[in-house]
Chain A
Amino acid sequence: MNPPERDEPSGRRAREVVRRDEPHRPAAEERRLLAATWGRRPGLWGWLTSTSHQEIGRRYIVTALVFFVLAGIGALLMRLQLARPENGLLGPDLYNQVFTLHGTTMMFLFAVPVMEGFAIYLVPMMLGTRNVAFPRLNAFGYWLYLLAGSFLWGASLLGIAPDAGWFSYVPLAGPEFSPGKRADVWAQLINLTEISALIVAVEVIVTTFKQRAAGMSLDRIPLYVWSVLVMSFMVVFAMPAVMLSGVFLALDRLVATHFFNPFEGGDALLWQHLFWFFGHPEVYIIFVPALGFVSSIVAAFTRRPVFGYPAMVLALVATGFISFGLWVHHMFTTGLPQLGESFFTAASLLIAVPTGVQIFCWIATLATGRPRFGVPLLFVLGFVATFVLGGLTGVMLASVPLDLQVHDTFFVVAHFHYVLIGGAVFPLFGAIYYWFPKAFGRRLSERLGRWQFGLLLVGFNLTFFPMHQLGFDGMPRRVYTYLPGRGWENLNLLATVGAMVIGLSVLLFAANVMRSLRRGEPAGHDPWAADTLEWALPSPPPVYGPLHLPVVVGRNGLWEPGAGTTFVTGLDPHAREVLVTNFLDADPELRETLPGDSPWPLVSAVVVAATFVGAMFTPWAPVIGSVPLFFALLAWAMPEKEEREEAREQERQRQAGAATP
């Protein structure tokens, strides 16, 4: 059953780490034991207590897509309002809430979480391990995210949606100019979702550093995993800035601190520095994982590894670094000193280089591969065509004099939709078409997929291309209406028509998913004959991941000659054991037992969310909330060893019974 390990360091080391007294079992028996150990309890209780990375990753993705649709409906409402001058569909109050909800939801509840969800779902499978490093923390992060999103949209239904923009500039969002609770809803939503983002980042970093398959040294990590690793480090450094500003804002509003009040020694621009120190990396946090999608799809669909692996990895890392040096280009109009602005112009231009290198590498891969123009690759081609345009308008925005003209106009709206929809949503759809067969065992319809791609490409360009000109023609962003006679009517109407076409495309996608879930073509375990390890698993993958932990023999995963013939054996199937390997070479170090399913992450998340919501009303909320949180965390951390020993004992007795007829 278990072929002898190849004679290489990781194999030798593996033999030292693995348990020697584990009996040899037939595969069916091993599967049964693993499923019993890693599976969740039946029913609702099992659903609520699950800590499987597959389950939580799927939940992240589905939840994020629901928020995508909600925020998209907001976008359609805005486009209807702007279809003609002095339209009366949405008044200023409602429009400001809708555009704030649209931006906040798209950034904090859709784009980042959907990328995180993919990472949580895919990374352990691509690394050949069974779960993320901290499964309960992972569940806690998801519940916080779900509660935060429900809180924002619940508050919106009650008429207290935030209305100061997704950037919540002070003093507009401060206590004086935003009375009521709307800005508090925004601040607490940010604080909650950022906790969840930090948790995912920690999961990805630790899982990637310590749980890679034996032999998957750093230079053999799939490009997708590199991209989410870079994303995770960016999250770790960027999110604290926005949490800090979110807490300052909440304190200004709750207990009248004056961090941002210029008339009491605070500073209105401090907010912008803190927010954009997070906010600029934020767009790369969304974009960098999408680059990983693109690399995965390009490799599988051109039938060759992506050209220039070292250059690709260095470009990802460089993007992560440089993205922290750009934030001031959001503040060129605030009257900062010119020399400082030039520095940020240079940095903003510089980031085009690593992105350019990756695009050149993909083009080289296409040219020397044998591309098959399936729907995922179509989305990749659409990504390059739209994203490069957005990147070039980004180069324009990096220039201080040009930015002075187009800053805060529809030109910027066009720019960032080109980079975010072009740079993240196109690859995201490609990724869904690519990995859907893995997750559900059925393929999405290619024909509907082509239609969806075509509609998205046309609708997207119809919507956003005219906005470049609107910006130059003097139309500012975030206006709920405009006066007739300034020549903006036709282009706005065109943009509205385009937005409807995008809506149609998303509807078609939903129909494709619904149809394919039930009647899609069965996919088999590896419909694309692709390279990364998740394709060795059955589709949908069993809850425990690989039956035997793979040993990786080269950078190209399953494509390497000899891949899939060497395994690590001897992990105890009665316990949730994973193999811990070292950082550089992924030599096995030890066996680590992960904790089991638990209701306490959910309970803790409810307590934390309630505390944050309570803090909108009273400064005592954290004091009161810390008491139940303490007990919930205590229960969370309670050891559960006896259960496992019991199960092992039962198994021994069963085997002893079977041996003596």
Chain B
Amino acid sequence: MTRRRWTAAPSLLLAALTAGCGALPAALDPAGPQAARVAVLWWWFLGVCAVVYLLVVGALAWAAWRGRRRGARRGSPQSAAPPAWADDPPELSADPARERRLALAVAGAAGATVLILIGLLVGSVITGDALAGARPEAELTIHITGRQWWWEVEYPGEMASERVITANEIHLPVGAIVHLEMTSADVIHSFWVPRLHGKIDLVPGRTTHHWLAAERPGVFTGQCAEFCGHQHAHMGLLVVAEPPERFAAWLAAQRRSAAAPDTAAEARGLEVFLDSSCVLCHAIRGTPAGGRTAPDLTHVASRATLAAGTLANTPGHLGGWILDSQGVKPGNRMPPNALSGEELQALLAYLESLR
């Protein structure tokens, strides 16, 4: 199986996900109040800056045209060509009245620049305050830990048993202000879902915070924005905004431990999982597997993508990923696994049952 065939499917998936966006770039097609605030600010900045740009370039063109006419008047009347350089003496003793007018014009332009900048500063600070205003009202807190090259997502519960750990997929109730509490386990990453909000870095040794909300249901793509090594390019995530009742159902399902194997194949798959190197890094709640350095697989089959947004989550992709993850995402931390066909099929059967 080639990489190209693998990637065709997620491209269709992503095309379907983004089909509703229309022609606007993601950050200007907001799906939440924070991104909407920033988008409004952007259109103001764009308008003001476009006018300023046209004025400056227009003034430049006007000055060049005017100067050209002055030069032409000085040249010989017979020929359009300018005089030889040595015959074109510099103009040193400028008319003082004209220089005064020029000074006024330059000072006026500088003053206008200052006023425009003050206006932009005020708009920017007001928007910044509005973004910060969401803070006290947060209804849900989610912990996110950046890792090379995936996202660990944790929904803390009141009791340890209520805690949910998943990866690369964040579910939110529509309309709720969500507080993201973030850090990194290795290098600096940056969390960015352009349709919901700007980005915030995940810095090892520090905790950073983000408050955002989704105003309508949908699946929004995000990506790591801070260069974090080999697979920075394939460190994507999905934010799934759902109506509150569906979100509650999702959370309840995620809180359950992994289902016990139903069939012989699934039971054999769990055995393969526990006997191979998988168990060193991955956790499946309800089994002895408790590794924390790789994504929690308790409900892996419920997720839309594999390998941090790189592949659509299908059995074919999962099998290819297990056998040769380095072919898909070179340099990632998962070693290749030499499983027999029978072992792989059993393992896939088990993993696909983890809904």
Q: Check if B49 is an interface residue, CB within 8 A of chain A.
A: yes
Give the residue name and chain of the B residue nearest to A303 (CB).
B90
Contact A92–B187 (Cβ < 8 Å): no
- For B119-159 the 0/1 string (1 means CB < 8 A from A) is 01101110111011000000000000000100000000000
- For B213-256 the 0/1 string (1 means CB < 8 A from A) is 00000000101111111111100100000000000000000000
> What is the interface size of chain A, counting residues whose CB is below 8 A from a CB of the partner?
97
- For A150-185 the 0/1 string (1 means CB < 8 A from B) is 000000000000001100010110001100000000
Of A289-297, A473-481, A568-576, the one contacting chain B is A473-481
B18 neighbours in A (Cβ, 8 Å): 485-487
Contact B89–A303 (Cβ < 8 Å): yes
Q: Check if B274 is an interface residue, CB within 8 A of chain A.
A: no
Say whether, besides A352-B117, A356-B113, A483-B11, A263 and B204 are in contact (CB < 8 Å): yes
Interface positions of A from 280 to 316, Cβ below 8 Å from B: 302-305, 307-308, 311
Contact A483–B86 (Cβ < 8 Å): no
A474 neighbours in B (Cβ, 8 Å): 25-27, 192, 194, 221, 223
Contact partner of A479 (CB less than 8 A), chosen from B4, B67, B85, B232, is: B232
Q: Check if A657 is an interface residue, CB within 8 A of chain B.
A: no
Q: Check if A322 is an interface residue, CB within 8 A of chain B.
A: no
Contact B331–A92 (Cβ < 8 Å): yes
Of B103-111, B164-172, B279-287, B291-299, the one contacting chain A is B103-111
Q: Check if B59 is an interface residue, CB within 8 A of chain A.
A: yes
Q: Check if B74 is an interface residue, CB within 8 A of chain A.
A: yes
A473 neighbours in B (Cβ, 8 Å): 25-27, 194
Contact B3–A364 (Cβ < 8 Å): no
- For A360-395 the 0/1 string (1 means CB < 8 A from B) is 110110111111110000000100110011001101
Of A135-143, A421-429, A524-532, the one contacting chain B is A524-532
Q: Min CB distance, A219 to chain B, in Å?
A: 16
A356 neighbours in B (Cβ, 8 Å): 109-110, 113
Interface positions of B from 185 to 214, Cβ below 8 Å from A: 186-188, 190, 192, 194, 197-201, 203-206, 208-209
A469 neighbours in B (Cβ, 8 Å): 25
Interface positions of A from 221 to 273, Cβ below 8 Å from B: 262-263, 267-269
Interface positions of A from 449 to 477, Cβ below 8 Å from B: 469, 472-474, 476-477
A353, B52: Cα distance in complex, Å: 13
Contact A384–B60 (Cβ < 8 Å): yes
A481 neighbours in B (Cβ, 8 Å): 233
A85 neighbours in B (Cβ, 8 Å): 11
Q: Check if B344 is an interface residue, CB within 8 A of chain A.
A: no
Q: Check if B330 is an interface residue, CB within 8 A of chain A.
A: yes
Contact A305–B90 (Cβ < 8 Å): yes
Q: Min CB distance, B333 to chain A, in Å?
A: 12
Q: Min CB distance, A92 to chain B, in Å?
A: 5
A192, B286: Cα distance in complex, Å: 57
Q: Check if A400 is an interface residue, CB within 8 A of chain B.
A: yes
Give the residue name and chain of the B residue nearest to A91 (CB).
B330
Q: Looking at B41, B125, B148, which has the most chain A CB atoms within 10 Å of its CB?
A: B125
Say whether, besides A367-B63, A485-B11, A559-B92, A360 and B41 are in contact (CB < 8 Å): no
Contact B25–A360 (Cβ < 8 Å): no
Q: Check if B80 is an interface residue, CB within 8 A of chain A.
A: no
Contact A363–B49 (Cβ < 8 Å): no
B37 neighbours in A (Cβ, 8 Å): 401
Q: Check if B302 is an interface residue, CB within 8 A of chain A.
A: no
How many chain B residues sit at the interface, stated as a range, is 35 or more
Main secondary structure of the interface of B (DSSP, over half): helix
Q: Check if B355 is an interface residue, CB within 8 A of chain A.
A: no
Interface positions of B from 1 to 59, Cβ below 8 Å from A: 3-4, 7-8, 10-15, 18, 25-28, 35, 37-38, 41-42, 45-46, 49, 52-53, 56-57, 59
A85, B35: Cα distance in complex, Å: 27
B82 neighbours in A (Cβ, 8 Å): 372
Contact A399–B232 (Cβ < 8 Å): no
- For B52-89 the 0/1 string (1 means CB < 8 A from A) is 11001101101110111011001000000010011011
Contact A303–B91 (Cβ < 8 Å): yes
Contact B225–A171 (Cβ < 8 Å): no
Contact B56–A304 (Cβ < 8 Å): no
Give the residue name and chain of the A residue nearest to B114 (CB).
A353
A101, B1: Cα distance in complex, Å: 34
- For A475-510 the 0/1 string (1 means CB < 8 A from B) is 011111111111100000000000000000000000
Contact A304–B92 (Cβ < 8 Å): yes
Q: Check if B160 is an interface residue, CB within 8 A of chain A.
A: no
Contact B88–A370 (Cβ < 8 Å): yes
Of B94-102, B261-269, B313-321, B334-342, the one contacting chain A is B94-102
Contact A335–B206 (Cβ < 8 Å): yes
Q: Check if A402 is an interface residue, CB within 8 A of chain B.
A: yes
Contact B38–A401 (Cβ < 8 Å): yes
Contact B106–A399 (Cβ < 8 Å): no
A400 neighbours in B (Cβ, 8 Å): 124, 128
Q: Check if B257 is an interface residue, CB within 8 A of chain A.
A: no
Contact A357–B110 (Cβ < 8 Å): yes
Q: Looking at A91, A402, A409, A486, which has the most chain B CB atoms within 10 Å of its CB?
A: A402
Say whether, besides A338-B128, A367-B66, A476-B192, A92 and B105 are in contact (CB < 8 Å): no
A620, B45: Cα distance in complex, Å: 55
- For A580-618 the 0/1 string (1 means CB < 8 A from B) is 000000000000000000000000000000000000000
Say whether, besides A333-B198, A360-B110, A370-B71, A303 and B203 are in contact (CB < 8 Å): no
Say whether, besides A92-B230, A529-B88, A371 and B124 are in contact (CB < 8 Å): no
Contact B28–A342 (Cβ < 8 Å): no
Q: Looking at A369, A373, A389, which has the most chain B CB atoms within 10 Å of its CB?
A: A369
Q: Check if A408 is an interface residue, CB within 8 A of chain B.
A: yes
B10 neighbours in A (Cβ, 8 Å): 483, 485
Contact A96–B71 (Cβ < 8 Å): no
Q: Min CB distance, A325 to chain B, in Å?
A: 15
Contact B27–A381 (Cβ < 8 Å): no
A171, B236: Cα distance in complex, Å: 21
Q: Min CB distance, A262 to chain B, in Å?
A: 2
Contact partner of A357 (CB less than 8 A), chosen from B57, B106, B200, B309, is: B106
Contact partner of B41 (CB less than 8 A), chosen from A171, A401, A556, is: A401
Contact A408–B190 (Cβ < 8 Å): yes
B63 neighbours in A (Cβ, 8 Å): 363-364, 366-367
Q: Check if A445 is an interface residue, CB within 8 A of chain B.
A: no
Contact partner of B67 (CB less than 8 A), chosen from A335, A367, A407, A478, is: A367
Q: Check if B310 is an interface residue, CB within 8 A of chain A.
A: yes
Q: Check if A346 is an interface residue, CB within 8 A of chain B.
A: yes
Give the residue name and chain of the B residue nearest to A355 (CB).
B113
A269, B310: Cα distance in complex, Å: 30
A526, B88: Cα distance in complex, Å: 13
Q: Min CB distance, A482 to chain B, in Å?
A: 7
Q: Check if A345 is an interface residue, CB within 8 A of chain B.
A: yes
Contact B204–A485 (Cβ < 8 Å): no
Contact A93–B230 (Cβ < 8 Å): yes
A527 neighbours in B (Cβ, 8 Å): 85
Q: Check if A350 is an interface residue, CB within 8 A of chain B.
A: yes
Contact B231–A92 (Cβ < 8 Å): yes
A385 neighbours in B (Cβ, 8 Å): 57, 60
B106 neighbours in A (Cβ, 8 Å): 307-308, 311, 357, 360-361, 364
Say whether, besides A346-B121, A485-B11, A86 and B3 are in contact (CB < 8 Å): yes
28 interchain pairs (CB within 8 A)?
A: A92-B233, A177-B229, A262-B206, A269-B206, A303-B90, A349-B117, A350-B117, A356-B109, A361-B106, A363-B63, A370-B71, A372-B71, A373-B68, A381-B64, A392-B53, A395-B45, A396-B46, A399-B45, A399-B124, A404-B131, A405-B199, A472-B27, A473-B194, A474-B221, A477-B225, A485-B13, A487-B18, A529-B90
Sort A-B residue pairs by CB-CB distance and give the 8 closest, nearest first: A404-B198, A262-B205, A370-B71, A479-B233, A367-B63, A335-B208, A485-B11, A472-B25
* Additional A-B contacts beyond A335-B209, A338-B132, A356-B109 (13; CB < 8 A): A92-B231, A164-B227, A171-B204, A172-B228, A176-B186, A304-B94, A333-B226, A335-B206, A360-B106, A393-B49, A396-B49, A402-B38, A556-B90
